[in-house]
Chains A and B, each alone.
Chain A
């Protein structure tokens, strides 16, 4: 199985530990992933700003970079959603179609492709789970409160398989954190307010460690946590599943 790791641009620059944890976690699960050095970005920041046309060269570059792999694994559901949903703007060559179906979010890759449903190890902390909306509603990684009161999802299950980990029950289980890409600066007031409300839902309900599958939401929430000096640690789920200790 030939697996490539795609590390989103902001993770590469600001959260290298998340890329490292992803690589190591995959290795523990028997997958040696390669990191093609020519990779850049999935193009989502441009497309969500209305500049899909300017993003097309980035899409093509992404396809060229990853076309020869069986799977492309990404520690970010949002990028995966973008590749799967919005690369429809490219001519649908076999290469494009292939990359659109072989690009996987890390958690989905672990649970669906590797069929791993439980993780060894312990993490004896109260953990608050924040799924990105693109992961949750776009890739259907978890039940949605719009549809059912039953809270379930792959990452939820993986995390609770760790010894001692207790998930926080939030007042609003799956409300958006307000990151939203360029939204976080173009609508800075609302974005900040949404992030504030999310962070305080976690605080109120006892979250010690805030985690999720998308570093972009977590970057935004971490920025708020640090600004307000809230007693919450922020870690990507790959770090916890890879055996992080506090």
Chain B
């Protein structure tokens, strides 16, 4: 089976120069807001180190903290479920919904449920599931996947949203004012909240010592959904754990500043016990995470708190769009998570980077993202997933560059060829990808080596 490469999807995205500029600038604006917020906290770099160490420790005793969390949650009257993969997760959710005889489900943002493709599963079983985060609702109406971790509809312009709302919510044609569009969504979704029978949420942090799950939103949709519906189901990956309530002091200071430049999300909600007469469920999901935990070079990717800062800073992501990654989590972090799930399918993602390292430098939990990209490249090449031309070319270069004489001769040949051949041939854009946007260097008559040899010995 062959797959589209990141490069081909990115090229398609780039065909619209102005829209690419807009996408790049919109996300750069978020990066700048992040910078401003970060500069204003003198201990920010210290907080990154602390967050990284707390997450590393948690991963090093993950079995212990999972068991501790489970025991605390059970003692709080929470029902705890375990899912090895997406299929088990989805079946558990459906079972809970059916036991209540419910059909109306309201869902707040959860990348895990995206990863598990929960929505299509529930819908195929006759459940009406409504995404209530504004961005998620927009893309749900358009039947598109999210293009960013925290800004799921960032690939859309307000005109696109206006068209979608006109079609699905009956707003006036041509309405593009974000304030009015948001108000229309508020009215539309309020009815859904009030009728909700089961509320699904993700989990930003799970506290082992108290058995609480913490959900961070700006819109208030998680709280509204959960506190109105009789049943709350929270889905969490095993890596969401932190040991102590006090650790939240570190993570809540980092998360929103890194994500959007806000000092904290509007709502930081701690769900520990169900309200009287209601149900609360937590589903703890593996889905490839323990496998990633077993890869020493890549387990640090499990520290991720899903802030999206690596996307906002990534010069490639900003100019290729989230959909070019064809994975639930796009951008740099997605490019180190996805090969764990399907190495062949996602084999071009670790190459969708210049290894500039900005992702690593903004990461609030200090994941060495660009180092892992480099390491995935080695594994992909070893597993024979490189394009054939690249593979054999590299083998040839390897021999050439270990041999000074062959190197000297081939360099002279290339340079002479470049000087003598016509521009139309050397700059043919089908044969030479370099020449699509750039001129080749003007070949000098003499290489440095040749010049040096002509100099009089000292």
> Do any beta carbons of A and B sit within 8 angstroms of each other in the complex?
yes
Interface residues of A (CB under 8 A from B): 7, 9-20, 23, 32, 35, 37-41, 43, 45-55, 57-58, 60-61, 133-134, 137-138, 144-149, 172, 175-176, 178-197, 219-220, 222-224, 226-227
Asked if B441 and A149 make an inter-chain contact with CB atoms under 8 angstroms apart, the answer reads no
Asked if A57 and B402 make an inter-chain contact with CB atoms under 8 angstroms apart, the answer reads yes
Distance in angstroms between the alpha carbons of A40 and B410 in the assembled complex: 12
Asked if A196 and B437 make an inter-chain contact with CB atoms under 8 angstroms apart, the answer reads yes
Interface of B is mostly: helix
Asked if B452 and A35 make an inter-chain contact with CB atoms under 8 angstroms apart, the answer reads yes
CB-based nearest B residue for A49: B394
Asked if B434 and A190 make an inter-chain contact with CB atoms under 8 angstroms apart, the answer reads no
Distance in angstroms between the alpha carbons of A15 and B441 in the assembled complex: 8
Question: Is B319 in the interface zone, CB < 8 Å from A?
Answer: yes
Residue numbers in A under 8 Å from B10 (CB-CB)? 187, 189-190
Chain B min CB distance to A85 (Å): 9
Question: Is B60 in the interface zone, CB < 8 Å from A?
Answer: no
Please judge, given known A-B contacts A192-B436, A192-B438, whether A172 and B28 are in contact too, CB under 8 Å: yes
Chain A min CB distance to B359 (Å): 9
Of B133-141, B215-223, B277-285, B376-384, the one with at least 4 CB within 8 A of chain A: B376-384
Asked if B358 and A133 make an inter-chain contact with CB atoms under 8 angstroms apart, the answer reads yes
Other-chain residue from A149, A185, A189 in contact with B35 (beta carbon distance below 8 A):
A149
4 A-B pairs closest in CB distance: A192-B437, A223-B438, A180-B354, A50-B381
Asked if B315 and A176 make an inter-chain contact with CB atoms under 8 angstroms apart, the answer reads yes
Other-chain residue from A188, A193, A196 in contact with B7 (beta carbon distance below 8 A):
A188
Asked if B377 and A146 make an inter-chain contact with CB atoms under 8 angstroms apart, the answer reads no
Asked if A224 and B438 make an inter-chain contact with CB atoms under 8 angstroms apart, the answer reads yes
Asked if B374 and A48 make an inter-chain contact with CB atoms under 8 angstroms apart, the answer reads yes
Asked if A190 and B378 make an inter-chain contact with CB atoms under 8 angstroms apart, the answer reads no
Give the residues from 381 to 405 in chain B that come closer than 8 angstroms, CB to CB, to chain A: 381-382, 386, 390-391, 394-395, 397-399, 401-404
Asked if A182 and B353 make an inter-chain contact with CB atoms under 8 angstroms apart, the answer reads no
Distance in angstroms between the alpha carbons of A53 and B403 in the assembled complex: 16
A-B contact pairs, 27 of them (CB 8 A): A9-B407, A11-B448, A12-B448, A14-B444, A16-B448, A16-B450, A38-B404, A48-B355, A50-B380, A53-B381, A54-B397, A54-B398, A58-B398, A60-B402, A137-B360, A145-B35, A172-B28, A178-B354, A188-B7, A189-B7, A189-B14, A190-B11, A190-B14, A192-B438, A193-B319, A194-B316, A223-B440
Question: Is B268 in the interface zone, CB < 8 Å from A?
Answer: no
Distance in angstroms between the alpha carbons of A22 and B184 in the assembled complex: 64
CB-based nearest B residue for A175: B315
Chain A min CB distance to B347 (Å): 9
Of B320, B386, B433, chain A has the most CB atoms within 10 Å of the CB of B433
Question: Is B143 in the interface zone, CB < 8 Å from A?
Answer: no
* 4 further contact pairs, Cβ within 8 A, besides A57-B399, A57-B402: A37-B404, A50-B386, A178-B315, A224-B438
Other-chain residue from B316, B358, B381 in contact with A190 (beta carbon distance below 8 A):
B316
